[in-house]
A and B are shown apart, each in its own frame.
Chain A
Amino acid sequence: MSSTFFFSLDGDIPDPLPNINTPPFTLSAAPHLKKLSVYSRPFIFRAYVGHLNAPYWKHSSDVPTITQLIRTAPPSLEELILKVNFQEEESGPLPNGHAIWSPFIPLATECSSLPIKVYLSAQFRRMKPQPAITSDCKEMTRFVEQGVFVLTATSCLDWS
């Protein structure tokens, strides 16, 4: 169900666009649904992409599938609660905001148009929790400022 994105180490537009898997069910099967909670565990690590001839951030995530699922949501859906447990590399440079958040942008766009409020609880292995966690991803910051995305909790397993 997961899709894979590639981002340059500096942080830029994903390339190539991933094939997005279609979820095996639709939310329209639950016409009175008000709240959807989702656990997701994206993997973000450096990968050398041969045909691009450079190391890239590789983000494998279910978020595009969740976005597809949200497109099938009944009008009654008010809240999406995302509990995201990011799996970064145990050493080396930390992924940039683009590599972390870009797959969430289509989801935020979709939710803002419906409208559905997204409560995001993020856990990282190494990155320190901070209020401005989305600061180096402008689109994500905009959605947070608009109130589409509400960061309810951020935590880190081994920060000191």
Chain B
Amino acid sequence: MNRSRVLHRRLALPAAAACLLALLALSLAGPAWATPYFSAQTNKPCSFCHESPQGGSSLTPQGYAFRAAGFYLDPKALPVAWRSWLNLLAGFVHIATAIVWFGAIFYIHLFIKPRALVRGVPQGERLLGLGSIILLALSGAVLTWLRVPNLEALLHTTFGIVWMVKVFFFLLMVATAVLVNTWLHRRLQADAEAASRDPLAQFDGQEGRPAHIAYSGQLYDVGGSKLWPGGEHMRRHRAGRDLTADLAAAPHGPEVLERLPKLGPAPASPDPEALGPTARLLVVLAYLVLGCMLVILLCLAWWNWGPPLVPAAEPFRPQLAQACVGCHQKATPAVHHDWGRSAHARAKVSCLHCHQAGRGDRDIDQRHQAYFASGQGPWAQARYAAPVAAVVTPRDCSRCHLRQSQEYARSKHAASLSIIWRSDPWLNQGLSSPLERSLGCLRCHGSMLKADAAGRLDPATWPNTGVGRVNLDRSRGSCSACHGRHAFSLAQARRPEACGVCHLGPGHPQMEIYAESKHGAIYRSQGHTWRWDAPPETWTAGVDYRTPTCAACHMSAAGRTPATHDVGRRLAWELQAPLTVRPQDFAPWPAQRPWQQARQEMRGVCLSCHSPGWTDSHFKQLDATVREYNELYFRPVQAKLEVLYDKGLLPRDAFFHSPLWTTYYELWHHEGRRARLGAAMMAPDYAWWHGFYELKQRYTRFMQRADHLLASGQKAYLAPVLPGAIGSRRPPAALGEPSRWP
């Protein structure tokens, strides 16, 4: 009873401290940005990213990594098999060791009492402590390494802060243990030795010495007693000691002493209850260790059940969005109305959900920041100030549209700037001017966005909504390339006109080819009656539309083929390449999957409306056509070009300086693509008249000219100057290697 009261008193202080800390933490926590949508998309529980199992507020290291990666689910943040097993092993060792060690400490405090150790810490106890410390430190280091990705995750998460507290107290325990086991231990032993110099102690009956005991100040001789063989009684009590206390606990009373010879008053012995300063220090340290241990246990509890200590992100304040809407209604009424009719507006997704920048982002519009301080209007007030960026990137969109962003990020679309830098002579030979590039190529392939210190976007790189744009947050692409701002209509992206913004013209006339195909013809004549705004992934052939559009075949869900924003996923050929190759052999951007899988997926789309016989025959025709283009047109012309190179009649770096080389270029880049793409999408006019028919003319012209040069040994004409050939030959350094998703 008495003991438990003491325990209560001892626990009261840490418990009160814990409650106080919890209250403090609760007052710090802010509202959350994230939505349950993430959880649904990633198939992860809230607790994957959030420390509270209910979600919200502070983040786990995974959550931190997720946010730092622009709300991408970085596979590196997911535990891989060996990491999981190592985690399990280290965790088991850690917790088992802690239970044993802490158990020993508790045992000492509850049952043995620290003052029992004043004669020195027993050997076993010391070894246990030392071993536990080593094991705990090692396994803890492994666990930390596995769990904490970077220093930021340590400093800015509840887990990290609690971890630091825990480690501090652990180190305090280690320091105490070191002190107790070294200096203090030696001091205690010395004290014990001094205690053993007690005059009574030499009469212990050992080695022929007399055996005396003391009781109530009287000295008795037990040397002659049969009950004290070798100075020991019942193998428990030893001679040479004061046994007053022991006798009180013995089954017999002091009457047995009357049978022993009385030697007179016992010599004064040091009071065993009186502690020396060293022993007192030991007791204090023992309680310190207990305190540390309780704090560590509190840390464990905090990790599991404690309130967050760090708010998750910049808090989102709806009243700021009201200011955006209120002001932009007048400043840019069309943007406001477009948004007002969008699904975003219906779902209360405001300007800020997409445009709010993180503190310190490079593309924060400083002029817009300055506006809040200007006082020019009811909304120009400091309390509405929020950092905004004009450019909304796929990372911003990924806050809600995670899967789509991930698929987009691994598509040829997002990589299209890298691809042309790796393959296009206009760029890597510097043959077009920066202006020509930004007006032409980069409109669709995307620019490398740049901003000055004031957050002003470089006019050479902006405006741009190219699918392969490299954004300041290192994400690639622009969702508004296809989902025009600010309506972001699903119906718009399902129509071929959305794709036709870029996929048209002499070099890649997919739009014209589609328009001329049976699919396109039916789309044009019947499309206005179709249901274009069916919810995502429910847009169904035959029900919502009669013939597919670009999106229907290449992106939308159909039959058992799942929807994707990776536009290259269902392609079995690289029809745009000079020599038609399989996607996995396309050097500038090799596909991660074998072409047969892509073909199977595309076939699945066709089968919604066509029989297997029809579909397979179509693919057979396509494959034969591709091979014919490769073998009959491209390879002979390329071989001829090589002969011209080898004979020195055409320099290898002539490119567009040479009209002959341009003829070769247009053979594959213009007519060759039209023939192949026309065959793939069943547009006879493009396959033949704009394709193979033109190929034959081009082929004849090229061969005629090349043969003439070879026969006469004459050098090919080279223009001395190509106008506008002033562009850089080097890809922008920041382009780097595009991140790939598995």
The answer to whether A binds B is no
